[in-house]
């Protein structure tokens, strides 16, 4: 199809997001689509500007990875008035705006957290387990949801409880710094049974902090995090990490297919195309997964 699609990407704040961009480009190329990407540097106002400018350019469709759930009504209405279909990638928006977009290809981040929590409950197997949590950026919807999902996941198990929770801003460096202080605050780490991080990058930092403090992550301290970026599989292969929940970077593929079908045949896609939140553990041949993922642009 000879199509131009504009993509308002959130930014390039993490390896996962870089991979999403790379994969999206590759998928567009596969389908011969003219794909324009605008990087919003984590700012909603920039995303709105980008969408407006896509409308002004007269693209055929707009992909939007919304940085926040609210505030899209008026700009999406403008796109609608210009008869340009919008597909949400990776994150959803507020239910009030349901009829303003064609479909949403997202994972459910509450579900991701829940998967992580359930894994931990299962692994702790009834033994008392103090968890420290590395949150994402304060206020980021993913952070809020992954926290909520995890809490749901462990809700039934009174033996598992979160003893400390701080933000690590989704970064390795902060993850490491925060973990260092958790270790000191929890008696040199002896009281910590498991670490839950809202993303793998923070967990990689936390693993370093634990090793430097003489702890053995993966055995003495359980780890579970989300995203499934290649480096966590390396850690898993080395026995230093236990589990991760995958968030696929390929959101654009299904979105392209939906748009093409919609444009060519008028097929209405379902309102929500949910991607899988697959749990990986050390048992899933981490080295092989690492190899398969390492060139995806993470």
Partner 1 sequence: MIRFLSRLTPVLATAAVFLAGFVVCSLIYPNFASLRVVMNLLTDNAFLVIVAVGMTFVIISGGIDLSVGSVIGFTTVFLALAIERWGVPPLWAFVLILVICAAFGACMGAIIQYFELPAFIVTLAGMFLARGVSFLLSTESLPITADLYAHLSDHALRFEGGARLTVPALVMLAVVIGGMVLLHLTRFGANVYALGGSRTATGLMGINVARTTVLIYILSSVLAGLAGIVFSLYTSSGYSLSAVGVELDAIAAVVIGGTLLSGGYGFIFGSFLGVMIQGLIQTYISFDGMLSSWWAKIATGLLLFAFIAFQQLTLHLARRSRRAPAGVHP
Partner 2 sequence: MALRLPRIGTSQIVALGLILVANWIVSPQFFDIRVQDGRLFGSLIDVFNRGAPVALLSIGMVLVIAMRGIDLSVGAVMAICGAIAASLADTHSLPVVLAAALGAGLLCGLWNGLLVAVLGIQPIVATLILMVAGRGIAQLITEGRIVTFTSPDLAFLGGGSVLGLPTPVVLTLGMMALTLALVRGTALGLMIEATGGNPRASALAGIGTRFITVGVYVWSGLCAALAGIVASADILGADANNAGLWLELDAILAVVIGGTSLFGGRFSIILAVVGAFIIQAMNTGILLSGFPPETNLVVKAVVVLTVLLAQSPRLGGHFAGIGVLFKRSKSGGKRS
Q: Which residues bind partner 2 (CB under 8 A)?
A: 12-15, 17-19, 21-22, 135, 138, 164-167, 169-174, 176-178, 180-182, 184-185, 187, 201, 204-205, 208, 212-214, 231, 297-298
Tokens read off for 21 = 């961009």
**Residues 6 or more apart from 177 whose CB is under 8 A from it?**
168, 205, 209
Minimum CB separation of residue 280 from partner 1 in Å reads 27
Residue of 29, 30, 32, 70 that binds partner 1 (CB under 8 A)? 70
Residue of 16, 54, 101, 182 that binds partner 1 (CB under 8 A)? 54
Minimum CB distance to partner 2 smaller for 202 or for 245: 202
Residue 163 contacts partner 1 per CB under 8 A: no
Place of tokens 């106002």: 45
Bridge partners (DSSP) of residue 9 are: 39
Are 41 and 11 contacting, i.e. CB atoms less than 8 angstroms apart? yes
Give the residue from 135, 238, 237, 128 showing the smallest Cα distance to 193: 128
CB atoms within 10 A of CB 119: 21
Listed ranges 38-46, 104-112, 180-188, 230-238: which one lies at the site for partner 1 (CB under 8 A): 38-46
Residue 144 contacts partner 1 per CB under 8 A: yes
**Residues 6 or more apart from 287 whose CB is under 8 A from it?**
233, 234, 237
Q: Which does 171 bind (CB under 5 to 8 A by kind): partner 1, partner 2, none?
A: partner 2
Residues 154, 116: Cα–Cα separation, whole Å:
9
Tokens read off for 106 = 């997202």
Residue 276 contacts partner 1 per CB under 8 A: no
Minimum CB distance to partner 2 smaller for 60 or for 231: 231
User: What does the longest C-alpha to C-alpha distance in the chain come to?
Assistant: 63
Minimum CB distance to partner 1 smaller for 36 or for 174: 36
Minimum CB distance to partner 1 smaller for 56 or for 155: 56
Range list of β-strands (E), the chain: 4-9, 34-39, 61-64, 86-90, 103-106, 129-135, 160-167, 194-197, 222-227, 243-246, 272-274, 279-281
Listed ranges 50-58, 104-112, 176-184, 269-277: which one lies at the site for partner 1 (CB under 8 A): 50-58
Buried b (16+ CB within 10 A) or exposed e, 9-21: bbbebbbbbbbbb
Minimum CB distance to partner 1 smaller for 120 or for 202: 202
x-marked contacts with partner 1 along 89-128 as a string, rule CB under 8 A: -----x-x--------------------------------
Tokens read off for 33 = 């689509």
Minimum CB separation of residue 160 from partner 2 in Å reads 18
Residues at the interface with partner 1 (CB under 8 A): 6, 9, 11-12, 18, 21, 35-39, 41-46, 48-50, 52-58, 68-74, 78, 81-82, 94, 96, 137-141, 144
């Amino acid at each position: 199809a000879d199509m131009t699609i504009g993509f308002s990407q959130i930014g390039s704040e993490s390896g996962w997001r870089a991979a999403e961009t790379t994969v999206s480009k590759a998928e567009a190329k596969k389908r011969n689509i003219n794909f324009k990407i605008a990087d919003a540097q984590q700012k909603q106002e920039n995303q709105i500007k980008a969408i407006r400018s896509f409308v002004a350019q007269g693209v055929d469709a707009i992909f939007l990875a919304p940085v926040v759930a609210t505030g899209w009504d008026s700009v999406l209405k403008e796109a609608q008035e210009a008869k340009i279909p919008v597909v949400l990638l990776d994150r959803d928006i507020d239910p009030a705006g349901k009829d303003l977009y064609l479909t949403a290809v997202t994972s459910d981040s509450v579900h991701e957290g829940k998967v992580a929590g359930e894994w931990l409950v299962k692994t702790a197997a009834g033994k008392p387990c103090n968890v420290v949590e590395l949150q994402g950026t304060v206020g980021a919807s993913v952070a809020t949801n992954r926290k909520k999902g995890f809490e749901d996941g462990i809700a039934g198990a009174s033996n598992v409880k979160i003893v400390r929770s701080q933000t690590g801003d989704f970064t390795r460096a902060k993850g490491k710094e925060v973990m260092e202080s958790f270790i000191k605050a929890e008696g040199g780490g002896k009281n910590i049974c498991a670490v839950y991080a809202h993303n793998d990058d923070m967990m990689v930092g936390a693993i370093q902090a634990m090793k430097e403090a003489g702890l053995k992550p993966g055995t003495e301290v359980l780890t579970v995090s989300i995203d499934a970026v290649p480096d966590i599989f390396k850690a898993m292969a080395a026995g230093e990490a236990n589990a991760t929940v995958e968030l696929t970077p390929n959101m654009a593929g299904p979105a392209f297919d939906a748009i093409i079908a919609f444009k060519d045949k008028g097929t209405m896609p379902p309102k929500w195309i949910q991607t899988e939140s697959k749990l990986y553990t050390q048992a899933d041949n981490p080295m092989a997964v690492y190899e398969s993922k390492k060139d995806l642009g993470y």
